[in-house]
Amino acid sequence: MLFYEIGPNRGHQELAIFLTRQMDRGLLRQADPQNAALHLMALLNADTLMPWLFGRLEDPSKDYLRTTTEHALQAFFAGYAVR
């Protein structure tokens, strides 16, 4: 519990604050920033953390990490960018 609170949960809260600022600036559509942060984190973890945890990804290259991050951000912006 303590690890979660000072690690992943803190990161989630900081990301939600950042996303709130972007929503307030009109760069992202208005939405629940807590949910938006969870969505972005899940997208970022989908091709990295999960495969690593299950032994499918041992030593990702910088190119792999860059590409998967770009794909995650493209998906996030498809749902949250102002149109």
Residue pair 34/16 in contact (Cβ under 8 Å)? The answer is yes
Each residue's pLDDT tens digit, 4-41: 888 888 999 999 999 999 999 999 999 999 999 999 99
Output the pLDDT for position 1.
Answer: 81
Domain boundary assignment for the chain: 2-80
Q: Kindly report, residue by residue over 59-74, the tens digit of the pLDDT.
A: 999 999 999 999 999 9
**Who wins on pLDDT, 1 or 75?**
75
- pLDDT for 36: 98
With the CA atoms of 71, 83, 13 and 1 taken in that order, what torsion angle do they form, in degrees rounded to the nearest 10? Answer: -50
pLDDT of residue 3: 84
